[in-house]
Amino acid sequence: MEPEQPSPDTEHESLPEETHLPSPTLYPIGFAIGIVVLLVGLIINPLLISSIGAAIAIVFAILWAREATAELRGEPVVVEPERRESRATAADPHGVTLEEVPDNAVTRSVFLEGATLGLGAAIGGLITLPVAGFAVLPGFLGQTQHKVDLGPIEKFPLGKWFISTFIVDPAEGEVSRRTVFLRNNGNVADPETKQQVPSFTIISNRCVHLGCPVQANGPIGQKYTGTASFKEHTLNGPVEFQSVIPAGYGCPCHGGQYDPEGNRIAGPPVRALDRYDFEINHGRLVLLSTYSVSKVVGTGGQAQIYKYKDVGPGEHVDGPEQFFYPINPPHH
Amino acid sequence: MAAIPKEKPSRIDQARAEFARYKADVKARGKPFYPYAMWHDTVMSFVVVCTIIGLAVIWKWSAWGPDHDPTHKGLLGPEVDPPADPGTTSFVPRPDWYFYFLFYLLRIFKWPESVFLGTVGVPTIALILLIGLPFLDRRLVRRPSARPVAMVAAVLTIVSMGVLTWKGATAKEALASEVKQSIPKWKADEHLPPAAFPGVELFASAGCTACHTYDGAGGSQLGAPDLTAIGSRNLGLQFQINHLKCPSCVNPGSPMPPFASLGDDRLKQLAIFLEASKGTH
Amino acid sequence: MATTYRRKPTKAEIRRQKMEELVMFPIDWLEERSGLIGGLKYFLFRNVPSDINWMQTLGSAALTAFLVQAITGVILAMYYVPSADINPRTGKPIAWESIVNITDHLTLGWLVRGMHRWGASVFIILMFLHMGRVFLFGAYKYPRELNWIIGVLILVNGMMEGFTGYLLPWDQTAYWATVVGINLNGTAPFLGPWLAQFLRGGQEISGETLTRFYSLHMLLIPGLIIGLITLHLYLVVRLGVTSPPWSKEAAGGEPEEEDGARLRPGLTRPVPRPSGASAMQAEPGGQE
| A172 and A280 belong to one structural domain | yes
Q: What is the pLDDT of residues A71-128, one digit of tens each?
A: 677 766 677 888 777 777 777 777 677 777 777 677 888 899 999 999 999 999 999 8
Q: Is the pLDDT of residue C281 over 50?
A: no
* Entry pTM: 0.79
Q: Is the pLDDT of residue B11 over 60?
A: yes
Residues B16-20: contacts with CB within 8 Å, 24+ apart? B16/C142, B18/B140, B18/C252, B18/C253, B18/C255, B19/C142, B19/C143, B19/C252, B20/C287
CA-based nearest distance B225→chain A, Å: 16
Inside any domain, residue A332: no
Domain B176-276 maps to which CATH number in 2.120.10.30, 2.150.10.10, 3.40.50.720, 1.10.760.10? 1.10.760.10
Average pLDDT score, chain A: 84
Q: Tell me, what DSSP letter sits at residue C138?
A: T
User: Would you call A325 and C192 a contact, using CB atoms and an 8 Å cutoff?
Assistant: yes
Nearest-angstrom CA–CA distance, A249 and C2: 93
> Which chain B residue's Cα is nearest to C283?
B17
Burial zone of C205 (CB within 10 Å; 0-12 exposed, 13-18 middle, 19+ buried): buried
β-pairing, A230-234 vs A237-244, is: antiparallel
3-state SS, residue B34: helix
| A215 and A290 belong to one structural domain | yes
| A163 and A295 belong to one structural domain | yes
CATH 1.20.810.10 domain span(s) along chain C: 54-239
Nearest-angstrom CA–CA distance, C202 and C207: 10
Q: Tell me, what DSSP letter sits at residue C142?
A: T
Superfamily designation of domain C54-239 = Cytochrome Bc1 Complex; Chain C (1.20.810.10)
**Chain C partners within 8 Å of B14 (Cβ):** 255-256
Which of A329, B68, B200, B88 lies closest to C196 in space, CA to CA?
A329
Is residue A269 within 8 A of residue A209, CB to CB? The reply is yes
Binding-site residues on chain B for chain A (CB distance < 8 A): 84-93, 106-107, 109-116, 118-119, 173, 175-178, 201-202, 205-208, 210-211, 219, 221-222, 255, 257, 259, 261-263, 266
Note the helical H segments in chain C: 11-34, 36-45, 58-76, 94-100, 109-136, 145-167, 172-186, 192-200, 207-215, 221-239
Q: Tell me, what DSSP letter sits at residue A141?
A: S
Is residue C50 within 8 A of residue C249, CB to CB? The reply is yes
β-bridge partners, A84 = none
Q: Is the pLDDT of residue C268 over 50?
A: no
Inside any domain, residue A120: no
Establish if A138 touches chain C: CB-CB under 8 angstroms.
yes
Distance spanning both ends of chain C, measured CA to CA: 27
Q: Is the pLDDT of residue B103 over 60?
A: yes
Q: By mean pLDDT, which of A314-328, C13-27, C123-137 is the weakest?
A: A314-328
**Chain C partners within 8 Å of B3 (Cβ):** 276-278, 281
Helix axis angle for B100-108 and B122-131, nearest 10°, is 130
- Label residue B67 by pLDDT band (50, 70, 90): low
Is residue B60 within 8 A of residue C111, CB to CB? The reply is yes
Establish if C205 touches chain A: CB-CB under 8 angstroms.
yes
- Residue C262: the pLDDT is 43
Inside any domain, residue A312: yes
**Residue in C93, C186, C190 closest to A312 by CB:** C186
Query: Which ipTM was obtained for this model?
Result: 0.82
> Which chain B residue's Cα is nearest to C286?
B21
- Residue A21: the pLDDT is 62
Q: Is the pLDDT of residue A7 over 60?
A: no
CATH 1.10.760.10 domain span(s) along chain B: 176-276
| DSSP code string of C172-198 | HHHHHHHHHHHHHHHTSTTTHHHHHHH
User: Would you call B262 and A245 a contact, using CB atoms and an 8 Å cutoff?
Assistant: yes
User: Would you call A209 and B115 a contact, using CB atoms and an 8 Å cutoff?
Assistant: yes
Inside any domain, residue A210: yes
Which range marks the domain in which residue A87 is found?
Answer: 8-100+128-139
Inside any domain, residue A105: no
Q: Is the pLDDT of residue A220 over 70?
A: yes
Is residue A136 within 8 A of residue C198, CB to CB? The reply is yes
Cβ pairs bridging B and C (under 8 Å)? 280
Establish if C207 touches chain B: CB-CB under 8 angstroms.
no
Higher pLDDT, C255 or C140: C140
Domain boundary among A88, A108, A139: A139
What CATH number is associated with residue A320?
2.102.10.10
Q: Tell me, what DSSP letter sits at residue C220?
A: I
Domain boundary among A120, A139, A158: A139
Nearest-angstrom CA–CA distance, B155 and B157: 5
| A86 and A174 belong to one structural domain | no
CATH classification code of B92-171: 1.10.287
User: Would you call B82 and C124 a contact, using CB atoms and an 8 Å cutoff?
Assistant: no
Domain boundary among A86, A109, A139: A139
Establish if C198 touches chain A: CB-CB under 8 angstroms.
yes
A194: left (phi over 0), alpha (psi -120 to 50) or beta: left
| A317 and A196 belong to one structural domain | yes
CA-based nearest distance B103→chain A, Å: 8
How many domains does one find in chain A?
A: 2
CA-based nearest distance A283→chain B, Å: 26
Helix axis angle for C192-200 and C172-186, nearest 10°, is 150
- Label residue C2 by pLDDT band (50, 70, 90): low
In the complex, which subunits touch B with 3 or more CB pairs below 8 angstroms?
A, C
In the complex, which subunits touch A with 3 or more CB pairs below 8 angstroms?
B, C
| A87 and A162 belong to one structural domain | no
Mean pLDDT: which of A222-236, B66-80, C121-135 is highest? Answer: C121-135
